[in-house]
Structure 1
Amino acid sequence: MSSHQTTQTMKPATAAKKLGVYLPATPAAFQEGVVSRAELTALQADPPEWLRELRANGPHPRPVVAERLGVSIAGLARGGVTEALTTEQIEELRRERPEWLEKERATQAEVRKEGARLKNLKREKEAGQG
């Protein structure tokens, strides 16, 4: 007899997001089905060739592109990057260092610096109250 426990599933878009890949570049079977938690775990633990290839060469979704370029997703949009990019295209942008990319990297660095400052301030405040 099988148990009556229902298997948690997710839409392909959710699974692709969790895997850090661009959904339209995944195989049709992945795009058209549903993915169980167990399948997602298996894909993460032992990625098939198509997943390894997508992670290595893309096209990559915007969050991955932003991370690899060291900018925010909004910064990508301000720079005119609205589509998924391949690893080669990302590397090309790094080499060319367009003005918008340098500006957005500087902005992102300031945001991180301010975040760290606020975190330290909060830590000092909590230490002072304890």
Structure 2
Amino acid sequence: MTQSQSMKPETAAKKLGILLEAAPPEFREGVVTRDELNALQEDPPEWLQVLRREGPHPRSVMAAKLGISNSGLARGGVTDPLTTVEIRALLAAPPQWLVRERATQAAVRAEKRRVAERDAGRAAKGGGGV
């Protein structure tokens, strides 16, 4: 008989993309086995569906929904978790910091694409060097 691997609630919340503080006490106060995590991912209970849909969301999810980096959230002064409604309001009428951070993120993505294409071109020529 094998024992299923277990993890702290913080780790499980991160893997589920939810804010631990917003999860029910029974989730926050125990340990989560790998099997339980898989079950939550495959057939999320109502509380998990609501948290994922409405928030409040963890920083990584907020940043992704806003199209910026985690650092961009900090530079914008966002310290508290946001709900989906609050994120939509920011996107509908973006403050200057959000416009700036989205432009920065777009430039970073464009540069990554340019470098990847350059490296792919070099590899195709057989150069491979930097």
TM-score scaled by length of structure 1? 0.95
* Residue 90 of structure 1: aligned partner: 87
Match of 1:28 among 18, 22, 25: 25
RMSD after superposition: 0.9
- 1:54 aligns to 2:32 (yes or no): no
For 1:121 and 1:96, locate their aligned partners in 2 and report how far apart those are by CA, in whole Å. Answer: 37
Runs of 5+ consecutive residues of structure 1 not aligned to the other structure: none
For 1:16 and 1:70, locate their aligned partners in 2 and report how far apart those are by CA, in whole Å. Answer: 21
* Residue 106 of structure 1: aligned partner: 103
Q: Offset of 1:6 from its aligned partner? A: 2.6
Runs of 5+ consecutive residues of structure 2 not aligned to the other structure: none
Residue 38 of structure 1 aligns with an amino acid whose one-letter code is: D
* Residue 6 of structure 1: aligned partner: 3
TM-score scaled by length of structure 2? 0.95
For 2:49 and 2:97, locate their aligned partners in 1 and report how far apart those are by CA, in whole Å. Answer: 31
Match of 2:120 among 112, 123, 128: 123
Q: How many residues align?
A: 127
Cα shift readout 1:24-51 (whole Å, capped 9, x = no counterpart): 0000000011111111110000000000
For 1:9 and 1:121, locate their aligned partners in 2 and report how far apart those are by CA, in whole Å. Answer: 43
Q: Offset of 1:20 from its aligned partner? A: 0.3
- Give the share of equivalent positions with the same residue, in percent: 56
Q: Secondary structure at the match of 1:109?
A: helix
For 2:80 and 2:21, locate their aligned partners in 1 and report how far apart those are by CA, in whole Å. Answer: 11
For 1:49 and 1:16, locate their aligned partners in 2 and report how far apart those are by CA, in whole Å. Answer: 15
